[in-house]
Amino acid sequence: MKLLRYGEMGRERPGLMDANGNIRDLSGHIDDLTGATLDDAQMDKLRALDVGSLPVVPMDTRIGACVGGVGKFICIGLNYADHAKESGLELPEEPVIFFKATSAIQGPNDPVHIPRNSVKTDWEVELGVVIGKKASYIEKEDALSHVAGYCVVNDLSERDFQLHRSGQWVKGKSCDTFGPIGPWLVTRDEVPDPQALDMYLEVNGHRYQNGSTQTMHFDVATVIAHLSQFMSLHPGDVISTGTPPGVGMGQKPETYLQEGDKMELGIAGLGMQRQVVENAP
């Protein structure tokens, strides 16, 4: 299934994308797509619905973040060898973990704001993993059974804040609008191999990132199992698993987002995001 949330920001309703590309309303069956509704039993109930009988939502309706009420927004740094190289950093022996503030989360096509005093706002297309079942001290072999589904994430970053403000990555990762998620939460049964997904990102029609999850340093199962040794993962938590090469910081000369730029990014089978860049109000 391709699940989504639609409607006015802060008042999103649950829906799904049918085989013909229509948005169908699920609010008669669940209140929202949150950790409370992402378990396997609830997913089986949604699969059993007669999709054709669900109300159709107008196609010009805003799409929100594909999961609401996110408890933790966890990110993995330097998880592609070629991205680490362009960043001038060694590949880590263990996954590099940092967090984004959940207040950064927004819809996939909402405007992205360059924060005040920013000089290096950057882009990063990433595979997002949404947890559906609590994971604590689990083994790699069991890790993917704890996944509700997968989505596209743009892990936007302000590099000057990230690297030159006491080396605290969260400062450069948590600005408002820096966490577009969606458009869909694609359930794990439709993603048989999360390590075989092509991904890309373009700015103003120029393709900067063109990669595949196949080249992850630590695969999705390893990341989930590793995280579960240090914190319990709860339904609705989002893990952003790292970015392939081609970020603005890696260009020669370095290239960063400016007001009026247009981004497009996507992952095979998981949908596409489009964002216009604006200066923060």
State whether 8 and 37 are in the same domain.
yes
pLDDT above 80 for 158: yes
Residue 220 belongs to a domain: yes
Is residue 240 within 8 A of residue 224, CB to CB? The reply is no
State whether 53 and 117 are in the same domain.
no
Q: How far apart are CA 254 and CA 122, in angstroms?
A: 10
Higher-scoring residue by pLDDT: 183, 88: 183
State whether 131 and 203 are in the same domain.
yes
Is residue 239 within 8 A of residue 74, CB to CB? The reply is yes
CATH number at residue 264: 3.90.850.10
* Tens of pLDDT, residues 184-197: 999 999 999 999 99
**Residue whose entry in the numeric block shows the structure tokens 């297309």:** 125
- pLDDT at residue 82, as a whole number: 76
Task: Read off the amino acid at residue 60.
Answer: D
Task: Summarize the confidence of residues 77-94 as an average pLDDT.
Answer: 83
* Tens of pLDDT, residues 190-216: 999 999 999 999 999 999 999 999 999
pLDDT above 80 for 100: yes
State whether 24 and 155 are in the same domain.
no
- pLDDT at residue 168, as a whole number: 77
pLDDT above 90 for 180: yes
Residue 66 belongs to a domain: no
State whether 207 and 131 are in the same domain.
yes
pLDDT above 90 for 90: no
State whether 45 and 170 are in the same domain.
no
State whether 94 and 11 are in the same domain.
no
State whether 50 and 153 are in the same domain.
no
**Residue whose entry in the numeric block shows the structure tokens 């991904």:** 199
State whether 27 and 82 are in the same domain.
no
Q: Which helix (H) or strand (E) holds 159?
A: helix 159-164
Structural domain total, the chain: 2
Residue 91 belongs to a domain: yes
- pLDDT at residue 248, as a whole number: 96
Residue 148 belongs to a domain: yes
What length is written for the chain? 281
Residue 63 belongs to a domain: no
Residue 107 belongs to a domain: yes
Q: What is the pTM of this model?
A: 0.96
Residue 22 belongs to a domain: yes
Strand pairing report for 2-6 and 13-17: antiparallel
Torsion sign, CA atoms 62, 67, 73, 75: negative
Residue 45 belongs to a domain: yes
Provide DSSP, the chain: -EEEEESSTT--EEEEE-TTS-EEE-TTT-S-SSGGG-SHHHHHHHHTS-GGGSPEEPTTSPB--SS-S-S-EEEEES-BHHHHHHTT-PPPSS-EEEE--GGGEE-TTSPEEEPTT-S-EE--EEEEEEE-S-BSS--HHHHGGGEEEEEEEE--EEHHHHHHSTT-HHHHH-STT-EEB-S-EEEGGG-S-TTS-EEEEEETTEEEEEEEGGGBSS-HHHHHHHHHTTS-B-TT-EEE----S--GGGSSS-----TT-EEEEEETTTEEEEEEEEE--
State whether 138 and 25 are in the same domain.
no
pLDDT band of residue 48 (cuts 50, 70, 90) is: very high
Q: Which helix (H) or strand (E) holds 167?
A: none
State whether 48 and 85 are in the same domain.
no
- pLDDT at residue 256, as a whole number: 98
* Tens of pLDDT, residues 50-84: 999 999 999 899 999 999 999 999 999 989 987 77
Task: For residue 24, give its domain range.
Answer: 2-57
- pLDDT at residue 240, as a whole number: 98
Distances (CA, A) of 239 to 63, 131, 154, 205: 20, 8, 12, 28
State whether 267 and 169 are in the same domain.
yes
